[in-house]
Every structure is written in structure tokens, then in C-alpha cells.
Structure 1
């Protein structure tokens, strides 16, 4: 049997708005997000890619619709090139099938043409006066322990671009938007220590929606202090030999949307003790009982005997596609299989969709934790 791959978890040199968002949910999740090896086991979201394309479009500030379309299409092509080399992300090879693709594209192009944002320098000067503004510039603060790239900033404001804003009627909308403001509080500190404190923070969506808040320096400073304290706490834990059990804080909210479910030992231990909790996208473990290789070269089926309450309905036949879920037809019968980000059918049984990931357990990586001891 081939040696299992390893993901090495080490202390982080600095924190960022993204890392702090992860850390607030689960320190183990944050620690895994700093390991480059973990990225190969994460299914990324096309919604995030749409946001990236929107960022690039707003930074370019094209003069007309034709140039805006060229910038957008070039950004999407670059994202597809990167995703095509990723074992999980390559399933999203057709952007036309991404949720809301055409609507976001149309709105983003219109916003880029109509916006009043000025084109800015793409890099910080090596020497001389502090920059008066910038886009996607790497800024640092708190003696280098906090870093980030604000989407756009100038002497008056700091701006975060989003491909869309959640429907206010959605139960989690307020929490999601507050996460955006938390991110902007850290960006305000980064801008404040680099170019002077902005007065206003803005969230700008591709739809043209703009949310605005005055920058409260005291709140921003407190957010930065908490983020740096979280970084130090994580690094100290790793230095004392903490592993997944000590770093993790599993729960339905913390684990529900976690991209590291498949490789997280604390998550699977928690699921077993909770008799498999009710997650929006269920996860399950099972033993491979049968394989139907299919006839069209893509669609095939496996049959699993699942653990816990997901197995109450008896054996589960699961339809999969090689182009989406990989090829499990060479697995040995009796192999342990992990399913993450599944969907629930009306009869209470699991099914796989384009976001579902299925892995033989003996091919998943081990986590290796750094320790100074």
C-alpha cells in the first residue's frame, strides 16, 4: 500500500482577515488553511471565483462594455486554467453552469463601467511617501503580524467588492454581512497604519448595491488586537504539542460549511459521538459493498453500508460521475468511504450532486502537527 500523504500544520507568521474569519470558528480549521498541502483536498466555490473576477474588473475600470467583457472573460479564463489542474475543482470546467454566472457577469460589467472608482497603482512604492490609495496592495500592520490586500482604498474610504449580497430574508444573511464588516475593520487598520485612517468603509456588490459605515477606529483596533491574540494563541498551542482534538471546536455551525471536513479527524470523531448531526450538506462514512462501472464511461454507481442514522434505510446506492467525483471503480470492496457535502433526497437518503466529494479513507492524508517540544 502506498504511503498516505501528509499535511504538515505549522505556526503561522501572520494573520489576515481571511485567517481570522476561520479562527473565529475553529482554530484547527484556521491552522489547516495555512497549509498549502491541504488545498488539494478542498473543493473551492465558483461563487468565490465570481468575486475574484469582479475584483479584477473593478480594478481595471474599463472604459466601455467591450473592454469590460474582455477583462471579465480573461479573468474567468485564468481561473479556469488554475482549476483545471486541481483534482476537485476541475469539475467546474463550464462557467456557464456556475450558479448565477450570467447575472453576475452582466451586473459586474455594468457596475465597472458606471462606477466612479479611480484606477490606481498596482504596487507599493519601494521608498518615499505613503501611498494615497491602492487596489489589492499587500499591507501589513501590528509589527507585521497582520496582513491583507484591501480591494480598494484611498484617503477617504476602504472598499470591499462582492459578487453578490445575501437576501436579507435569509436567516444567515445578517451574520454573513457582519463577517464582511469584520473584514473591513481589519482592512481599515491596515490602511490606517499605512496611508492614514479612512473615514468610511464600503461593501460594493456587482448588482450596484452599496453598504456604507463610518469607520470606528476603536472597534477596528479591538478587532485587530483580537486577531493578533488569536494568532499567538494558535501558535502557542502548536508549540505545546496540541493536535486536532485540542485545536478543534466542532459544532453544526463551525463544521457545517467547513471545506476541510474530509480530512479533519476531529470532525469525524464528533460526527460519531453525535450520531451524525443534521448538517445542511450531510457527511457520512460507509463501507463499499458493490460497484457498477456503468456503460457510458462517465456515470457509474457504488453501493455503501453507511454508519449511524444515515444507514437506517439500509444499503445506499450512490450514482457518481467520473468527471465530477473521480473514479472509485478500482477500489476494493470493504473499503471505508467518506462522503462530504452530500444532498438529502425526499426519502431521507443521501445523493451526490456537483458539490459532493467522495473519498476512499485510506487515500486521505494524515495531519502532522509541528511542535517545539
Structure 2
């Protein structure tokens, strides 16, 4: 059941700007078991915790990093999809981010990134902090800034997007929108920060002055979006009515496996360009592998990825789960696949395959 929520946050607002259904799914704890989380995001989480710990030397920083990673792995081991990422050494860029994060944290402890700037004239400095829960707009806006003090609000990222990426500008714009809301949260404490910064583990820094009218407007939009989503949810509308399917909203949506609007959009637009391909199809047969872990599912897919005829996806029980008990004719959903040069799909470590029989129905309503 998707239900209204009392407050919004920078993260919820980032989902809501793309799709209200995506936002509603993001705040439902039951949905989490259907989401494959990203090791790249986990590296950012570890970096946040390391910077908040303010280690005095590289040995202490390494210990804080390893402790943060151990907690992430413990949580992942209890998640039916995330357990596949049990070895952090195989995460993209793990050692590079670790090295850079440790260096950045030690540099911060020595004053390397702890730049102090004056706040607004005549303002009293708020108490600083790391990941403190702050609220504003009568409690309807909440968030945990990575770091803030009397001069600046800082968001830590494991990496910054490569400028050549087509979506690099929109990603960075999302960072600034997030920081605008954090500035409002801090400002309601009594003093607005003068500067907003994005700091990467590499030492790269993006910085711009805090524009109070722009921040207030961002908060107004976030609250309006919350009201609109809550009103729709409280009426018990069809979940698809909340959705805004399209290339941008659906391209990397973590909820596409269970989203009815996404699959309807795919069927209505048989040639959508997806950054990470997804497809529905019928299970034809299963070929067991030689090692007891590897197996192949032979499927007939619909839409653009089924044009080449029946396909075989090589899967591993330890990564993709055990589908060998499914009967021929079962309907499957494949998400986050890779595209081979011949136009057929290939499963990798991030690919998820589900039986449609297990997909939950999404219903809206008030509690």
C-alpha cells in the first residue's frame, strides 16, 4: 500500500521531480526488497561517514573506512538482491575511492578542507554538525546535511560525473537543488550559510554562493510536490496515475521491476532507448550448468530486445537467484541488463530477473 507521508526531504524531492510514483515507492519500506542498491552509492556512504569522523591520521581514517564498509556489507548480506555484492574489492573504483577518501579525510582534519567563511551580516551562527536531522517549514521539510557550519554547507560525493556524460549537467543540478534545501533547513535555525559546496573523494570541489530566494523557491516547490503527491495517494488512485514514464524518469529508476506504468510505457513505445535495457518475456526452458551455480534461461522477449528471436541468458544462482524451479511458460521481467553487439541481452552482476507471478500489486490509499 502506497500512503501519504508527513514530510519531504532532498532525496524524496529528487525522486518527485522525475515521477511521483517513484517518490511514493521510495518511502515505502516494503519496496526495498525489490531494489538492487548500488555499490557506487555505498562508496559515497562510506565517504560521508569517514568525513564525519574527522580522523587524525591515515591509520585512523583507514579504520573508520573499513568499519563503514563492514556495516554496509552486513546490511547487504541480509538483502536478497544486494548479497551478490559481498566482495567490495570488485566494486567499481573501490581502491581508488578508498585511497582518495582517506587522503581527503586526513586533509580535512588538518584544515585542508575546513575553510571558514563569514555568514550573513548580522546573523548568529548556527551550531554546525554532520548528518544532523534538521527540519523546516513546520516540520514538513527534513534532511541531514553531510556537513555544515557558520559559513558553508557541504555535500560529499565519492565521485563527480564525467563532464562528457550526457546527463552530467542534470546530475550536478540535482546536487545544487539538494544543497538549496539543506540551506533552508540550516537557515531556519537562525543563520544562512554563505556557500554551498560539493566535495568529491578525489579532492575536486564545486562551489557556489547560497542564493536565498532560489533556496526558498526550491523549498516551496518541494512542499507543493509533497501536497500534490499526498492528495493523489489519499484518493486511492491507480498507481499508474502517479507515474511520469519516459526515457529520463525510467532510464535508471530502481523501481522499474515492479512499476506497472514502466512496462505499459515499454509496450506502447516498442523502441525506447534505455541506458540499462529491460524486457518482459516468456520462459521457454532452462538449461542447468556444470558447476551447480551457472544455468541458462531460454526466453522469448517482447519489444525491441526480442526482435532477434529467442534468447538465452546465462545466470548464476549466487548472483541472480535460483529460477530453475519455474515452469515453462512463466512470464519473466529482466531489468538492468546489458546489450550485446548483436542486439541481444546479456546478464551481468547488476541484472535482476523476476517471475511476474511474484511481483506485488501497487495500491494507493490513506492509512
TM, length-normalised to structure 2: 0.95
Q: Is the counterpart of residue 284 in structure 1 residue 279 in structure 2? A: yes
Instruction: State the distance in 2 between where 1:117 and 1:243 align.
Output: 52
Is this contact kept in 1: 2:330–2:355, CA < 8 A? yes
Q: 61, 65, 82: which one pairs with 1:68?
A: 61
1:53 to 2:46 alignment: yes
Q: Which runs of 5+ in 2 are unaligned?
A: 115-123
Name the Cα RMSD after superposition. 1.4
**Equivalent residues, number:** 356
Deviations 1:268-319 (A, max 9, x none): 1111011141201111011000101212121110100111222221110110
1:103 aligns with 2:96: yes
Corresponding residue of 2:142 = 147
The answer on whether the counterparts of 1:304 and 1:316 sit within 8 Å (CA) in structure 2 is yes
Residue 188 of structure 2 aligns to a residue whose secondary structure is: helix
1:345 paired residue number: 340
The answer on whether the counterparts of 1:61 and 1:117 sit within 8 Å (CA) in structure 2 is no
Q: Is the 8 A contact 1:155 1:195 kept in 2?
A: no
Q: Tell me the CA shift for residue 371 of structure 1.
A: 4.3
Shift of 1:212: 0.8
Name segments (4+ residues, structure 1) moved above 4 Å: none
Indicate whether 1:249 and 2:244 are aligned.
Answer: yes
Contact persistence 2:235–2:365 (CA under 8 A): no
Question: Pairwise mapping of residues 150-189 of structure 1 onto structure 2 (< 5 A)?
Answer: 150-189=145-184
Q: Hey, what's the Cα distance between the residues in 1 that align with 2:101 and 2:305?
A: 42
Mapped contact 2:236–2:363 kept (Cα < 8 A): no
Post-superposition Cα deviations, 1:194-236, rounded to whole Å, max 9, x if no partner, equal 2411101011110011111100000000000000000000001
Task: Report the equivalent of 1:25.
Answer: 18
Q: Does the CA contact (< 8 Å) of 2:36 and 2:82 recur in 1?
A: yes
Verify: 1:16 aligned to 2:2, yes or no. no
Q: TM-score, normalised by structure 1?
A: 0.93
- Asked whether 1:237 is paired with 2:195, we answer no
Residue ranges of structure 1 left out of the alignment (5+ in a row)? 1-7, 120-128
